[in-house]
A and B are shown apart, each in its own frame.
Chain A
Amino acid sequence: MTVLAISEHRRGELRDVSFELLTAGREVADALDTDLHVAVIGGDVAEHAEELNHEGVDVIHTVPAGEEFNHGVYTQVIDSLATDLDPRVLLMPNSVNGLDYAPAVANGLSLPLVTDVIGFDASDAVSATREMYASKVETTIEIDADRFCMTIRPNEWAKAEGAGDAEIREHEIEIDESRVRSTVTGFEEVGGGDVDISDADVLVSVGRGIEEEENIELIEELADALGATLSSSRPIVDAGWLPKNRQVGQSGKVVTPDVYLAIGISGAVQHVAGMKGADTIIAINTDPNAPIYDLADYGIVDDLFEVVPELTAQFS
């Protein structure tokens, strides 16, 4: 009986969530009184195994399988490892790639799947915690199964640190190429251009609360008055109101300015992933329960259309 965590790497490097999986995995393994195994699939498996050898990890499985992630390969490898190890829990990242293979793995093994997990408990019944309604509520999902799959939300668990003495097991798993029906042909960096928001000391950032494209001007005027750089949350870029290089968040830029002024931004987890490292966070939002206030140092709970022009006027 084990917990088997699947690490994630991209373009030669392990992603942070791989180290968070070790912490989450140890927590789940302790709760279920079992061992923690970790798998490295593809890439430089020997080097990654070394990097993942942290306190709390019992066994690391290495499976050479090409350079980059391919879900046709991952599903076959995990299927084979799971058949071999019979893990109690298969733990995967709730990343873009995690969501590209975890549901297929769960389906293939006929196991229940709980995604985007932010907490785990086995003291009474086995259960996972996850959010609903755009982070407005949390729910408890009870898991009445001997074997199950979970994907964990990035940035929720700390990265594992202490040195470990895990046993490393090398595997050779034959891949049925006829079942690999997608080919990764390359990668593309997006969001380049004349402005690099990750360089700015002060960011004035606009979100869905701005309502209309023509209102963006209000925020631009404030940014100009403050000598700050304009950035935004995802919906503004999706709508085509600002270019991709202005987007703060998980799929955009990670920023660490001195001051981050979030205007009409609720603070969805994907946005927070991109700005939580700012020194001072100031929020202007009508909803006092918006998640952005969990991070904010200062706030104005009021209508941005009334507050922002007043603020701009002070500095013009």
Chain B
Amino acid sequence: MKILVTVKEVAEAADDFELPDGALDIDERYLEYDLNEWDEYGVEEGVQIAEENEDTEVVSVTIGPERSEETIRMALAKGVDRAIRIWDDALEDVAFLDVEARARILAAVVAEEDPDLVLTGVQANDDGFGATGIALADRIDFEWAAVVNHLDLDVEGGLAHVHRELEGGVEELTDVELPAVLSIQTGINEPRYASLRGIRQAQSKEIVPYELADLDLDADVTDSPLSLTSMYEPETESSATVFEGSPEEEADQLGELLGEMGVVEG
């Protein structure tokens, strides 16, 4: 069995970031890069399945610049067998890679790798589109399930028994035919820390770089009717009364308020 896990290196903006008028993205110096939180759970789920099923290979795939190799190596250190990284001059210049472009690129990787199961994160915590996995599934004619927080794989029966986490504390129990794309929700497992041995082993694991042409894709795969034309800080609507002073003084004022509200007798 082969499991393909999509991973993305995402940027988090520092609290004190600045965004000048007309800028279409936050400047790099305010950004910190890490593996997407949802993908950590996808990686863990893939590795756990490989541990429970013989002859199972876990391959991670990412669309990202050379910088992201460090992040991908962490997935390799946690048990992913090998990785594919797609990057291209044509991608370098794109400010906004839409869902369709991502799905088309990943579909070309699926054609190459022929996995039985694809795991994606529910969403990326930078742009939060939450759509790539399901768009990919439809494109490659796999079955799918979005927002999976429990997975029980019946390889022989060709089914994935999943729970989908709906709103309001309700889970939907669904049987999904394989091959399938599952978008993985946080909390489905406990992602492991990489061991020292894992980190050492990851150094010799392969990260294959692909350009678009290697996947028989043209640069026009990035063409989109969607474009990001502005980015700005939302106007704060805060009308909060902020207590000021030393931590003790702040706590005193809040304590007084709680007393006045009758939260505590005092």
Residues of B within 8 A of A34 (CB): none
- For the complex, give the distance between the alpha carbons of A306 and B129 in Å: 37
> Which B residues are closer than 8 A to A by beta carbons?
11-13, 15, 17, 19, 26, 96, 98-100, 103, 122, 125-135, 137-139, 143-147, 163-177, 183, 186-187, 190, 224-234, 236-243, 247-248, 250-252, 254-255, 257-258, 261, 263-264, 266
Interchain Cβ contacts within 8 Å, total number: 262
Q: Are A99 and B130 in contact (CB under 8 A)?
A: yes
- For the complex, give the distance between the alpha carbons of A281 and B263 in Å: 13
Q: Are B138 and A134 in contact (CB under 8 A)?
A: no
Q: Are A144 and B168 in contact (CB under 8 A)?
A: no
Q: Are B250 and A113 in contact (CB under 8 A)?
A: no
Decide yes or no whether A143 CB sits under 8 A from chain B: yes
Q: Are A112 and B227 in contact (CB under 8 A)?
A: no
- For the complex, give the distance between the alpha carbons of A258 and B262 in Å: 10
Q: Which of B103, B128, B143, B233 contacts A182 (CB 8 A)?
A: B143
> Which A residues are closer than 8 A to B by beta carbons?
10, 15, 71, 75, 94-97, 99-104, 106-108, 112-116, 125, 127, 130-145, 148, 181-191, 202, 225-228, 234-235, 237-240, 244, 250-254, 258-259, 280, 282-283, 286-289, 293-294, 296-303, 306-308, 310-311, 313-315
- For the complex, give the distance between the alpha carbons of A134 and B14 in Å: 11
Taking chain B's interface residues, is the majority helix, strand, or loop, or is none over half, making it mixed? mixed
Q: Are A115 and B168 in contact (CB under 8 A)?
A: no
B179 to chain A, nearest CB (A): 10
Q: Are B240 and A112 in contact (CB under 8 A)?
A: no
Residues of B within 8 A of A251 (CB): 165-169
Check A182/B145 contact, CB under 8 A, given A97-B166, A297-B240: yes
Residues of A within 8 A of B186 (CB): 234-235, 238
B254 to chain A, nearest CB (A): 6
**Sample (22) of A-B pairs whose CB atoms are under 8 Å apart:** A99-B146, A103-B132, A103-B138, A113-B99, A113-B131, A138-B234, A139-B228, A139-B230, A142-B227, A144-B227, A187-B170, A234-B186, A258-B263, A282-B254, A294-B237, A296-B240, A297-B239, A298-B254, A302-B250, A308-B251, A311-B251, A314-B255
- For the complex, give the distance between the alpha carbons of A253 and B173 in Å: 20
Residues of A within 8 A of B100 (CB): 106-107, 112-113
- For the complex, give the distance between the alpha carbons of A252 and B130 in Å: 19
Q: Are B147 and A240 in contact (CB under 8 A)?
A: no
- For the complex, give the distance between the alpha carbons of A144 and B96 in Å: 14
Residues of A within 8 A of B258 (CB): 226, 259, 315
Q: Which residue of B lies closest to A183 (CB)?
A: B175
Residues of A within 8 A of B165 (CB): 96, 251
Q: Which of B145, B250, B257 contacts A100 (CB 8 A)?
A: B145
Q: Which of A133, A182, A288, A297 contacts B26 (CB 8 A)?
A: A133
Check A100/B146 contact, CB under 8 A, given A142-B227, A282-B254, A293-B240: yes
Q: Are B243 and A99 in contact (CB under 8 A)?
A: no
Check A315/B146 contact, CB under 8 A, given A96-B165, A189-B169: no
Residues of A within 8 A of B132 (CB): 103
A160 to chain B, nearest CB (A): 20
Residues of A within 8 A of B255 (CB): 311, 314-315
Check A96/B166 contact, CB under 8 A, given A106-B99, A297-B241: yes
Q: Are B168 and A137 in contact (CB under 8 A)?
A: no
Which 3 A-B pairs have CB atoms at the shortest separation, nearest pair first? A310-B251, A306-B247, A238-B187
B96 to chain A, nearest CB (A): 8
Q: Are A186 and B12 in contact (CB under 8 A)?
A: no
Q: Are A96 and B167 in contact (CB under 8 A)?
A: yes
Q: Are B264 and A307 in contact (CB under 8 A)?
A: no
Q: Are B169 and A137 in contact (CB under 8 A)?
A: no
Residues of B within 8 A of A187 (CB): 166, 170-173
Q: Are B143 and A181 in contact (CB under 8 A)?
A: yes
Q: Are A108 and B138 in contact (CB under 8 A)?
A: yes
- For the complex, give the distance between the alpha carbons of A58 and B174 in Å: 35
- For the complex, give the distance between the alpha carbons of A131 and B13 in Å: 13
Q: Which residue of B lies closest to A313 (CB)?
A: B251
- For the complex, give the distance between the alpha carbons of A159 and B187 in Å: 32
Q: Which of A99, A184, A226, A301 contacts B147 (CB 8 A)?
A: A99
Residues of B within 8 A of A307 (CB): 247, 250-251, 254
Q: Are A289 and B164 in contact (CB under 8 A)?
A: no
- For the complex, give the distance between the alpha carbons of A96 and B169 in Å: 12
Check A138/B232 contact, CB under 8 A, given A107-B135, A298-B254: yes
- For the complex, give the distance between the alpha carbons of A289 and B19 in Å: 14
